[in-house]
Structure 1
């Protein structure tokens, strides 16, 4: 009996993720990949995801590596970083046609054969092994001494492995044009761009008085919330609300001390965060981020952005020259002076940045948009192959 050329055969799919610990940004990508490919099996270096967050797995069993069983792995699995290249190479994917890796460390290093297709969705090449090595060593107190020497040796080995393992990837997909440039720099490979999925439905526009400026962030050094606070200390006529917590909290609170226009709110529940974003004049973002999901969430609330013009902000912010209307403005230097200047320019341009335009911009980054784009990329990779993904595996957002 001849096969029906109009009926696509089923493709066996494996999804490989680094580690499952908490449901965060990269896990949202895995969640959406599992919706696109419900027949897929899931692999990870370790799986310590708590029961309360395992809904994304749809009851799947996760195949893990030998690191799962090493001493103290539950709490200290990151200390086994040097073993992770070996661990990911031991995952047996020989029975699969299509492998999709969700990579920010080692997942792309899985071994595949010549008749298998490997698509790697890259959140970022290993930051701490490449251009952020100096900052990583400095923040870890490993700039000198035997510990620092060992860390440099380990990162050198990881860089060599990282480049070599890139040759096993058939198609790279970057989560922003910034990461696309990093992939080109590190691996000398081109990549498609598919923006990460943002749950737009959790953030809505509301009719609220827009008074204060808002910054929402983990309070860690590279987020540069300190610069935002320093800028608003110099603008006592403008109100700033700082939302978030982290190791920089005390230092940032000290910078804001004596400035009645600045309020430190700490970490807040989602409902309160939503109200703050909906009532903000603008969302201020001073970090150089791979993408910046919080910026999209602010746009989904109809809130304009004032952002540092590097990294993912360049993909998100639409300027005054955009035909669809502006959704924010960028500043080109990571300084408090630049932020003060940007806030003053925003006061003039703000009437052009309507909630409706900001909300429409956010829809470009929805979960449905991610699923459609990823499916298109995979179909393109398989287009020269006799296999294709059956239509019934596609998932549509019903929000």
Structure 2
């Protein structure tokens, strides 16, 4: 059976790319088609994979710095991939990957990390934050057509997989399609429990407005407790302006340093509405609890009061109350880590391969 994998961009090693890595372990001979590939931003082993960037994207000027500015061209670029020879196409999609064109003899299964946030849930946020006049008007027209394209391209998918019940509900609302929930994997053995815990709390995130790191900073400005912020992004300067001396920005860190920070923090703070949130599982794999917002998919990864705490309102005061609750509770690091095992890579591979095999057999029965 010939299998191809399609992923939006390969220029960071975030949650979607960690899931892609495990999918590739299930289908190691499958080539990966993508819009843009920057090997310097990914683990060294990826350089040996069969990765095929879009032809159009290869010739875009200044693409390393401005690849996101070519947004309107990417749907066209994806449609140029020739996937006629494959029996199965798996798209790992949070933007356009699901829009590839396949023949009736090819089964297309899409692992949906999220419907396009910029066009739907976060449309107003993105427009008001990133688009300045007169570009705000252009942004409005552009994403009107992006929404049309997004819904139309959902019809090119034969079967959807959602990464959480929250994303499953959004797939149903936006695309009017059913989906199966298969939670993302975490490699438990990559993380460890420390002998001791430090006094700091931890934020681990890209520094962009919708991640709401500002709420955590304002909360810890009030309490005076130590907060470490790992990650980078265009909003870093704005966040540093409002942060007091007890807030420490450490930028991007290597994998080993990250594991150390996770294993020794009091708790992970996850203040945004997330599709799921692998960092929540990584913290628990390190024996540490997570403080998550009640809306979104992050709360699906914890057991309240056993492996984490949920805060109710998107306010600094609500986060402060959750921090106080964490400090009153006793979390057994081994029980916290054991809960994370329910989201192991082995579990993901079994569920994912089982779903694919079942749906592929079903699909073939309907093709003359």
TM norm structure 2: 0.90
Distance 1:102 1:190 in 2: 17
Structure 2 counterpart of 1:338, from 318, 324, 333: 318
Q: What are the equivalent positions in structure 2 for 1:150-189 lying under 5 Å apart?
A: 150-189=138-177
Q: CA RMSD for the aligned pairs?
A: 2.4
Distance 1:62 1:54 in 2: 16
Q: Structure 1, residues 79-137: CA drift from partner, whole Å, max 9, x if none? A: 22212222212211111111111111111111122222100011111111112111111
Distance 1:26 1:172 in 2: 16
Q: Is 1:111 aligned to residue 138 of structure 2?
A: no
Q: Given the superposition, is the C-alpha separation of residues 75 and 282 from structure 1 closer, same or farther in structure 2, using an over 3 Å criterion?
A: closer
Structure 1 counterpart of 2:216, from 228, 242, 252: 228
Q: Is 1:266 aligned to residue 266 of structure 2?
A: no
Distance 2:91 2:8 in 1: 8
Distance 1:275 1:166 in 2: 41
Deviation for aligned residue 1:210:
4.7
* Contact in 1 for aligned 2:33/2:54 (Cα 8 Å): yes
Distance 2:96 2:12 in 1: 18
Q: Secondary structure at the match of 1:383?
A: helix
1:77 corresponds in structure 2 to 67
Q: What are the equivalent positions in structure 2 for 1:99-138 lying under 5 Å apart?
A: 99-138=89-128
Deviation for aligned residue 1:296:
1.3
Q: Structure 1, residues 135-194: CA drift from partner, whole Å, max 9, x if none? A: 11112133x42x222222111111111111111111111112221111111101111112
Max Rg structure: 1
Q: Secondary structure at the match of 2:155?
A: helix
Q: Given the superposition, is the C-alpha separation of residues 56 and 194 from structure 1 closer, same or farther in structure 2, using an over 3 Å criterion?
A: farther
Query: Which structure would you say has the larger RCO, counting Cα contacts within 8 Å and 6 or more residues apart?
Result: 1
Q: Given the superposition, is the C-alpha separation of residues 385 and 153 from structure 1 closer, same or farther in structure 2, using an over 3 Å criterion?
A: closer
Q: Following superposition, which runs of at least 4 residues in structure 1 exceed 4 angstroms of deviation?
A: none
2:194 corresponds in structure 1 to 206
Q: Given the superposition, is the C-alpha separation of residues 69 and 230 from structure 1 closer, same or farther in structure 2, using an over 3 Å criterion?
A: closer
Distance 1:165 1:81 in 2: 16
TM norm structure 1: 0.83
Q: Is 1:276 aligned to residue 256 of structure 2?
A: no
Q: Secondary structure at the match of 1:228?
A: helix
Q: Given the superposition, is the C-alpha separation of residues 137 and 328 from structure 1 closer, same or farther in structure 2, using an over 3 Å criterion?
A: same
* Contact in 2 for aligned 1:47/1:68 (Cα 8 Å): no
Distance 1:303 1:273 in 2: 13
Q: Secondary structure at the match of 1:211?
A: coil
* Contact in 1 for aligned 2:109/2:157 (Cα 8 Å): yes
Distance 1:215 1:118 in 2: 36
Distance 1:48 1:96 in 2: 25
Distance 2:240 2:248 in 1: 7
Deviation for aligned residue 1:328:
0.9
* Contact in 2 for aligned 1:208/1:279 (Cα 8 Å): yes
1:319 corresponds in structure 2 to 304
Tell me how many residue pairs correspond in the alignment.
364
Q: Given the superposition, is the C-alpha separation of residues 44 and 269 from structure 1 closer, same or farther in structure 2, using an over 3 Å criterion?
A: closer
Q: Secondary structure at the match of 1:95?
A: coil
Q: Is 1:193 aligned to residue 178 of structure 2?
A: no
Q: Is 1:298 aligned to residue 283 of structure 2?
A: yes
Distance 2:84 2:254 in 1: 44
1:395 corresponds in structure 2 to none
Consecutive unaligned residues of structure 2, counting only runs of 5 or more, are: none
Structure 1 counterpart of 2:327, from 338, 347, 351: 347
Deviation for aligned residue 1:57:
5.6
Deviation for aligned residue 1:31:
2.1
Structure 2 counterpart of 1:310, from 267, 289, 295: 295
Distance 2:240 2:75 in 1: 41
